[in-house]
Structure 1
Amino acid sequence: MNDNKSQAIVIRSSSLRTPTSLTHVNICGQLVDTSPVIRDQGFTIGINLTMTSQIANICRYAYYHLSRIAKIRDSISTTICKSLIHGLVTLQIDYGITVLFGISDHHLHHLEMVQRSAARIVVKIRRGDRQSVTTILRQLHWLPVRKHIEYKLLILVHRALHDGTPEYLVALLLQQAPSRSLRSAGGLLLEVPRVNIEHFGHRAFVQDPLCGTNSLGICATTAI
């Protein structure tokens, strides 16, 4: 095990008054110090699983490139501008975006502001202009961030159900089998697992109190 690259983190609730005293863990005889934030597979994970650090990194990276694109916007065409934004900003937001399903509205707002800034640069309008950003997003055929997260998650679930890929998710998707005859029995609904820990459990399985199913409004949910 590489001592310089090994990291450990203790996940705990933000409401825990007494922080854990665990400062290191023993892995195969090697002591690894714990850290409040670790990075794995391109994601920055904090001790409370709020994705705060990940959102901050995405926004910092995106605004850096948006500012540079804005400086040369008058010298490039709209097509080139879109290509630059998709290559440097959109792909950064899109990478592993399903992990952000269920994040707070506060964090989601930061990503939406990045998307709106990118849209303004493409159509060359300033922040103070009264033109609706929602209308601009429709013209550009850009899904809002929340809908984009749901769309990517639905694609992942659809592939797991119909193509059997990725295999590690197929076993997690169980079709709902009601104990009695219901009109929803033929709706291909999936089971929503029960969770004991409100904060961490519902980050993966977000329940919709209005329809009694998952918050996607259809028969698909999974834990990433």
Structure 2
Amino acid sequence: MDKYMTLSSHVTKVCQSASFAIAKIGSIRKYIDRSTAERLVHALVTSRLDSNNGLLYGLPGTVISKLQRVQNSAVRLVLGVKGYRVDINDLRRSELHWLPIRDRIAFKILMLTYKSLHGLAPPYLADLLTTYQPTRSLRSATQFLLDPPRRIVTSYYGERAFSTSAPKLWNGLPQSIRKATSLAIFKNT
């Protein structure tokens, strides 16, 4: 950890290990089909990128871009794309249906939030969240919103905490998604 909690050394190590796995898969890529390559990438690369990525919420773009470059390399490997003139974002979205790293981080926090609100997560996470209860009758009372904490200790570290980031992301979702009746419906919408 550095003094600004950017986790840059952690991200660098994750990128190194994921890049090593990409290189190893790349050495056998011509002998395997696309679905096998995709499974290997999920097992050896994506699992590293997703491990503890909820902690990376709110980090500077320079740190997240390192992880994004690794994911882009994995997309090129799976699809067999040569060169850099191809729009990798379109391929990632249309061919593989993968979320970009920043969205994967937000998705993980939102999944933990949904599970916490529905009793599917550990109680210590649910205790960090407070549902919005207005003092008088308002239309917003029925929208299943979360109440962000009133006092943030530090603006940089405090906004990255689960108790602050979860309500911010949750309240930004459309009401139909917030009121999803099951985890499967929540994931797919």
TM-score category, normalised to shorter length: 0.7 to 0.9
Q: Following the alignment from structure 1 to structure 2, what is the Cα–Cα distance between the partners of residues 157 and 206?
A: 10
1:199 Cα deviation after fit: 1.3
1:66 Cα deviation after fit: 0.8
Residue 196 in structure 1 maps to residue 150 in structure 2? no
* Alpha carbons 1:63, 1:114 under 8 Å: kept: yes
1:175 Cα deviation after fit: 0.7
**TM-score in terms of structure 2 length:** 0.82
CA 169–136 in structure 1, closer or farther in 2 if over 3 Å, else same = same
1:87 Cα deviation after fit: 0.9
Q: Following the alignment from structure 2 to structure 1, what is the Cα–Cα distance between the partners of residues 127 and 165?
A: 19
Query: Per-residue displacement from partner, 1:68-101 (whole Å, max 9, x unpaired)?
Result: 2112211211121111111111101111221111
Name the structure with the higher helix share: 2
Name the structure with the higher strand share: 1
Aligned match for 1:116, one of 46, 69, 72:
72
1:180 Cα deviation after fit: 3.4
1:110 Cα deviation after fit: 0.9
Q: Following the alignment from structure 1 to structure 2, what is the Cα–Cα distance between the partners of residues 96 and 168?
A: 17
1:215 Cα deviation after fit: 4.2
- Structure-1 residue corresponding to 2:168: 214
- Structure-2 residue corresponding to 1:16: none
Aligned match for 2:28, one of 72, 76, 90:
72
Residue 51 in structure 1 maps to residue 35 in structure 2? no
1:206 Cα deviation after fit: 4.6
Query: Per-residue displacement from partner, 1:180-200 (whole Å, max 9, x unpaired)?
Result: 333222111111112031111
- Structure-2 residue corresponding to 1:105: 61
* Alpha carbons 1:160, 1:169 under 8 Å: kept: yes
Residue type of the alignment partner of 1:214: K
Please give the secondary structure, in 2, of the residue aligned with 1:137: helix
Q: Following the alignment from structure 2 to structure 1, what is the Cα–Cα distance between the partners of residues 39 and 169?
A: 33
1:164 Cα deviation after fit: 4.5
Q: Following the alignment from structure 1 to structure 2, what is the Cα–Cα distance between the partners of residues 155 and 64?
A: 29
Matches within 5 A, 1:157-168: 157-168=113-124
**TM-score in terms of structure 1 length:** 0.70
* Alpha carbons 1:174, 1:190 under 8 Å: kept: yes
Residue 148 in structure 1 maps to residue 104 in structure 2? yes
1:135 Cα deviation after fit: 1.7
C-alpha RMSD over aligned residues: 2.0
Q: Following the alignment from structure 1 to structure 2, what is the Cα–Cα distance between the partners of residues 153 and 203?
A: 11
Spell out structure 1 runs of 4+ moving beyond 6 A. Answer: none
Residue 82 in structure 1 maps to residue 35 in structure 2? no
Identity of aligned residues (%): 34
